Structure 1
Amino acid sequence: MAEEILEPDLPIIDPHHHLWDLRPLVGAFPEPLHPFVAALVDAAYYTFDALYADTHSGHNVIGTVFMECGAFYDSSRGDALKPVGEVEFVNGVAAQGASGLYGDYRPCASIVGHADLTLGAKAGEVLDALQAASQRFVGIRHAAAWDADPATLGPPFHHPEGLYLDAKFREGFAELGKRGLTFDAWVLEPQLGDVLDLARAFPEQTIVLDHCGTPLNIGPYNGTLGEHFARWRNSIQALGECPNVSVKLGGLAMAFCMMPEEGPAAGIGSGKLAEMWRPYIETCIEAFGPARAMFESNYPVDRWGASYPALWNAFKRITTGASDEEKHQLYAGTAAKVYRLENLLGAS
C-alpha cells in the first residue's frame, strides 16, 4: 500500500544516486549471490526513465547529483581515461533533463566522476579530461571500502587496504585542491580513522563522507550493530570536528548495513525505517550540524530495503522537530553548497 507523502512541497536535492546498465553482467557473479549483488541485479537497468519515475513518486525532488559507479566507461581510451566515458554519458542525461521537457527538474545537475588517484600527480591529467568532458563535473569519488573477510563486500569490490593512507594516493589527492574539486569518501565503519587522517592532512580539501560511514550488519558483522555503535559514534564525532568534512545521511538501507535485513525491495514502511535509522541520522546531524549534512537516496542501491517514497518519508519523520532552516539545509542547502547547485534553489 502506497504511503501518503509527508511534506510534499519540501524542496529536495538528491545528492547521491547512480545510473547504469548491469544487464550484460547478470549471470557472471557466482551463486549464491552476495546480498549486495542481489540488490544490483534487482535494479540492473537504471537510467533516466527509472530515475525520473523514482524522483517523481511524490516528493519534491528539484535536482540530483550523479555519483560515479563505473558505468559506461569508454573502452576506446587507455585505462586511466576510461572513466571520462561515464561523465560524458551522464552529461547527456543531464542535458535531457535541462531541455525543459520535464519542467524545472534537473537530474544529474552536478556529476561526481572517478579518477585513479594512485596515479599520483599524473591523476591531474585525468581530472583535466573529466573537467573538459562536462561543465557539470564537480569532483570525484575514489572508494576505499575494504575488509579482510570477502563475505563482507562480495565480488564487485577490490579496494586495497589502507588506500587513503597511501603516499601515492595522497599525491594524486593533492591534485583535487588545485582544481577546486570535491572528494567523496566511501569506506566501511572500521576504516573511518583513515578518512579522519586524510581530512586532517588536507584541511582545505572538501571531503564528503558517504552513507553515514557505512555501519556494518553483513557477513561476519551480522548482529553486531549495537556492539559497534559506540565505536562508530566516536569516529563520527571526531570527523565532525573537521570543518572540511560533510556527511551524507543515508545508505543505511543498502545490504552492507542491512537496516532492514529483509530485501531486496522489502516494502517496509517509513515508520519502521525511521526507528532503525534515527540513532545514526541524529548522531551525524549532531556531530556535523545541518550545514554540513545532507540526506541522500543512494538509489538504486538502497532499494534493497526502502522504496524511494518510503525512504524520504523516513527521513522526514526523523526531522519532524527540525526548524524550517534546518530542513532547508538537510534536504537541499548543504548539497547545493557542496556541489555548486545554488541556482536550483532560486528556482524552487
Structure 2
Amino acid sequence: MAETILEPDLPIVDPHHHLWDRRSYVAPGASAAAPEHPFMTAIADARRYLLDELLADTGSGHRIVATVFVECGAFYRADGPVEMRTVGETEFVNGVAAMSASGMYGDTRACAGIVSRADLSLGDGVVPVLEAHIAAGGGRFRGIRNSASFEDDKEVLGPLNRAEAGLYLSDKFREGFRRLAPLGLSFDAWLLEPQLPDAISLARAFPETHIVLDHVGTPLGRASYQGKLKERFPIWRENVRELAKSPNVVVKLGGLAMAFCNFPSFLAEPRAPSEQLAAEWRPYIETCIEAFGPKRCMFESNFPVDMGSCDYATLWNAFKRIAKGYSPDEKTSLFSGTAANTYRLGLQ
C-alpha cells in the first residue's frame, strides 16, 4: 500500500537521476556479463527510464520542482572520434530538458542541469570534448562525472567494474581535471568508501574546483564486505569529516539503497517502509550533515538505481523523516537550495 506523502508542499530539487533505454545499454567501460549481480536485479524493472518514467516518479506526490541528470552512458554517438562519443548523452538529455521546459509535461523542470562524462585522463586533450558538451547542453551543461569506483574484490561492483585503482591520483587525470574550473564546470565524484582518501587528496589539490561527492561515499556491505558496515563505519566517518574540511566539496545524501551498501531493506519483500529506510540510512546522512552543514548537503534520489530498495515516493518520505528535526531554512538547503546553488539552476 502506498505511503501517505509527508510534507507534500516542500519544494525538492532532485540532483541525481539517470535516463536510459537498456535494450542495448551497458555502462561505459562495464562488462555485460554477470547479470545475476544484485545491481542488475535491482534495476531489472527499469529497462526503460526516459521522460515518461521520470515524470511518473516525480509526479507521485512530492513537490519536485526540478531535477539534474547525471551520466549513465545513455545514447552515446555511434561513430566519430571515440573521445567525442559521450557528447551524444548531453545532446539527448538537452532534448529531454527542452521538452520539459515547454511546460507541456507539467511544472517539474526535468534535467534543468546536466552532468555528463568526459575522459579526463585525456589530459589537456579533453578540452575540445568539454567545449563540445558545453555547446550541446543549451545552457544546461554543468559538469563532468568520471567514476573512480574500484575494488580488488570484483564481486563488489560486478558489472560496474570499469576503473583502475587510483584514478583520481594519476597525473594524466589531474591534468584533465584542472581544465574544469576555468570552464566553470563542477565535478561529480563517485568512488567507494575505502577510496575516500583519494577524494580528499583531489579536493585539496584543486581547491578552486567544485566537487560533489556522490552517494555519501558509498559504504560497502556485500561480497568481502558482507556484514562489515558497522565495523567500517568509524573509518568512513573519519574520512567524511576530513573531506568536509575542504570547502570546495559538497555531498549528495543518498545512494544508500544500492546493492553495494546491502542494507537489510535492499530487495526486501515486502518492501521496506520509509521508517525502516530512515533508520538504516540515518547514521550516514546525519554524520554528513554534521560534518558539511546543511548548505553543503543535498538529498538525491539516484533513480532508477535506488528502486532496488523502494519506490520514489517512499524514498523521499524516508529523507523527510530523517530531516524532521531540522529548521525550515535547513530543510530548504537540504531538499532544494544546495542542489540549485551547486548546479546553478537559477530557480526563483
For Structure 1 versus Structure 2, the TM-score category normalised by the shorter chain is over 0.9
Task: Return the letter of the residue paired with 1:235.
Answer: N
Aligned: 1:122 with 2:125? yes
- Structure 1 residue 318, shift from structure 2 partner: 0.5
Aligned: 1:67 with 2:70? yes
**Deviation digits for residues 177-204 of structure 1, max 9, x if unmatched?**
1101000000000000000000000011
Paired with 1:34 and 1:68, the residues of 2 have a C-alpha distance of 21
**Deviation digits for residues 61-118 of structure 1, max 9, x if unmatched?**
0000000011100012211000100000000110110011123210000000110000
- Structure 1 residue 30, shift from structure 2 partner: 3.9
CA contact (8 A) 1:39 1:264 kept: no
Paired with 2:148 and 2:270, the residues of 1 have a C-alpha distance of 28
Aligned mate of 2:162, from 134, 158, 164:
158
Equivalent residue number for residue 206 of structure 1: 210
Aligned: 1:221 with 2:225? yes
Aligned: 1:80 with 2:83? yes
Specify every segment of 5 or more residues in structure 1 that has no aligned partner in the other structure, as ranges.
Answer: none
Aligned mate of 1:149, from 142, 150, 153:
153
Specify every segment of 5 or more residues in structure 2 that has no aligned partner in the other structure, as ranges.
Answer: none
- Structure 1 residue 34, shift from structure 2 partner: 0.6
Paired with 1:168 and 1:148, the residues of 2 have a C-alpha distance of 22
Equivalent residue number for residue 4 of structure 2: 4
Paired with 1:60 and 1:266, the residues of 2 have a C-alpha distance of 26
1:265–1:179 CA distance, 2 compared to 1 (3 A): farther
Paired with 2:309 and 2:174, the residues of 1 have a C-alpha distance of 35
Paired with 1:260 and 1:164, the residues of 2 have a C-alpha distance of 31
Equivalent residue number for residue 177 of structure 2: 173
User: TM-score under structure 2 normalisation?
Assistant: 0.96
Equivalenced residues, count: 343
Aligned mate of 1:108, from 100, 106, 111:
111
1:63–1:260 CA distance, 2 compared to 1 (3 A): farther
User: TM-score under structure 1 normalisation?
Assistant: 0.96
Aligned: 1:329 with 2:345? no
Paired with 1:227 and 1:297, the residues of 2 have a C-alpha distance of 26
| Superposition map of 1:177-188 within 5 A | 177-188=181-192
Paired with 1:321 and 1:16, the residues of 2 have a C-alpha distance of 24
Tell me which stretches of 4 or more aligned residues in structure 1 moved more than 6 Å.
none
Paired with 2:293 and 2:184, the residues of 1 have a C-alpha distance of 23
Task: Return the letter of the residue paired with 2:59.
Answer: H
Task: Return the letter of the residue paired with 1:20.
Answer: W
Equivalent residue number for residue 233 of structure 1: 237
Equivalent residue number for residue 138 of structure 1: 142
- Structure 1 residue 23, shift from structure 2 partner: 1.8
Paired with 1:179 and 1:32, the residues of 2 have a C-alpha distance of 39
CA contact (8 A) 1:215 1:232 kept: yes
Paired with 2:146 and 2:162, the residues of 1 have a C-alpha distance of 12
CA contact (8 A) 2:265 2:271 kept: no
Q: Secondary structure of 2:43's match?
A: helix
Q: Secondary structure of 1:175's match?
A: coil
CA contact (8 A) 1:258 1:305 kept: no
- Structure 1 residue 39, shift from structure 2 partner: 1.9
Task: Return the letter of the residue paired with 1:14.
Answer: D
- Structure 1 residue 245, shift from structure 2 partner: 0.2
- Structure 1 residue 31, shift from structure 2 partner: 5.1
